[in-house]
Structure 1
Amino acid sequence: ESPKLEHVLQPLDGVRVHQHLDVLEVCLGWERNNRYSIYNKQGEQILYAYEAAQCYARQCYGSLREFTLIVTDNDDNRLLYLQRPLRCSSRCCYACCCLQKLHILTPPDIFLAAVTEKWTCCLPEYELQNTEGDMTFTIEGDCCHFRCCCSINFVMA
């Protein structure tokens, strides 16, 4: 980990991620790159994240699209890149080869970890794997993760 990233993440015992609403997206249904503010438990913004995805992918593939999420500190220093390839959702295709996978990298493109989706029929569940491929911990979500305008909680175990 870079010293800047370690300085930001080390004291954390939880975070809240807030997605910025885009008026054009809400009114017109035109998908735009997502933006997020990341807060510590005291409500202080500690990180900012923004999506880099191609326009046609956002419109044609929706939430299944390939994207890179760039995470910066409050001074706009890039700390992490989260890269997800285009893959089918496990909910519509029973084959485990279609589960979501996300690579976490630090600049300049140093692999840090991977998050892989585990197949479940309704609860979202993910595993974080280190550089050797060993599972570090799991991330479990609420039963219903298609809620609009309310919090979705994930627990790390």
Structure 2
Amino acid sequence: EIHLFFSFANKYKIENSHGQKVYYAVEYTNFCTRNCCGAYRPFTMRIFDNVGQEVITLKRPLRCSSCCFPCCLQKIEIQAPPGVPIGFVSQTCHPCLPKFTVQNGNREEVLKIIGPFILCSCGADIDFEITSLDEQTVVGKISKHWSGFVRELLTDTDFFRIQFPLDLEVNMKAVMLGACFLIVSLFLLNLVSAGLSGIILQ
């Protein structure tokens, strides 16, 4: 289980289930891209360990916003160490649900991710279920934690959680982290507001 805390500057603190900081992540993009593309912007996410060494790189290309055409489906590449692809997460075309396919470094399908029909966090967590390829067995989830009405309304901090099987191989855990960042950027953050308020990533 990994916890992610989002700050308005698009920097993330990543903790383990014991509350210990294990990584931090910084999104690299530019002000114009954020304002023009919003949730569909391309980015490079660099994930660092506690001594400042980059250990994972996430690369998301620019894609259009329609999920009705294969060329517009969203995807992200996970590299660990940087420059070495270990997995991919690609959006799957579906008329009603946000769905994704998780692949290993050989582009072999390993897991599926299925989101809810309605993406509303008012009073409850938003859960994206991690399932087997046949979608019959839930093996984990990616969640946006509901932190209460006052905190949701008055603060810029969001809290996300990734849960996956303990026996999942290390590379695939890193890929699931990449999946979380893709889902968060697409569905769980008000990125347009962040861009219009003049926030510049550092």
TM tier relative to shorter chain: 0.7 to 0.9
Aligned position for 1:7 = none
Deviations 1:68-114 (A, max 9, x none): 011112222111111011101235xx212210010111234011111
User: Distance in 2 between the 1:108 and 1:65 partners?
Assistant: 21
Aligned position for 1:60 = 36
Question: Is residue 42 from structure 1 mapped to residue 18 from structure 2 by the alignment?
Answer: yes
Number of aligned residue pairs: 131
- TM-score with structure 1 setting the length: 0.72
Aligned position for 2:105 = 131
- TM-score with structure 2 setting the length: 0.58
After TM superposition, the structure 1 = structure 2 runs for residues 45-124 of structure 1, keeping only pairs within 5 Å, are 45-91=21-67, 94-124=68-98
In angstroms, what is the RMSD of aligned CA positions? Answer: 2.2
Q: Against the structure 1 CA distance between its residues 84 and 39, is the aligned structure 2 distance closer, same or farther, given a 3 Å change threshold? A: same
Whichever structure has more helix as a proportion of its residues is 2
Query: Contact 1:139/1:155 (CA < 8 Å) preserved in 2?
Result: yes
Higher relative contact order (CA 8 A, sep 6+): 2
Query: 5+ residue gaps in structure 2?
Result: 132-202
Aligned position for 1:17 = 4
The residue matched to 1:79 in structure 2 has which SS?
strand
How many angstroms does 1:144 deviate by? Answer: 3.1
How many angstroms does 1:151 deviate by? Answer: 4.4
The residue matched to 1:153 in structure 2 has which SS?
strand
Deviations 1:5-40 (A, max 9, x none): xxxxxxxxx222221135xxxxxxxxxxx1112222
User: Distance in 2 between the 1:146 and 1:65 partners?
Assistant: 22
Aligned position for 2:160 = none
Deviations 1:115-138 (A, max 9, x none): 001112332221111122110111
The residue matched to 1:38 in structure 2 has which SS?
strand
User: Distance in 2 between the 1:85 and 1:147 partners?
Assistant: 28
Q: Against the structure 1 CA distance between its residues 47 and 135, is the aligned structure 2 distance closer, same or farther, given a 3 Å change threshold? A: same
Q: Against the structure 1 CA distance between its residues 44 and 123, is the aligned structure 2 distance closer, same or farther, given a 3 Å change threshold? A: farther
* Range moving further from structure 2, 138-147 or 98-107: 138-147
Instruction: In structure 2, give the amino acid aligned to 1:86.
Output: L
How many angstroms does 1:147 deviate by? Answer: 4.3
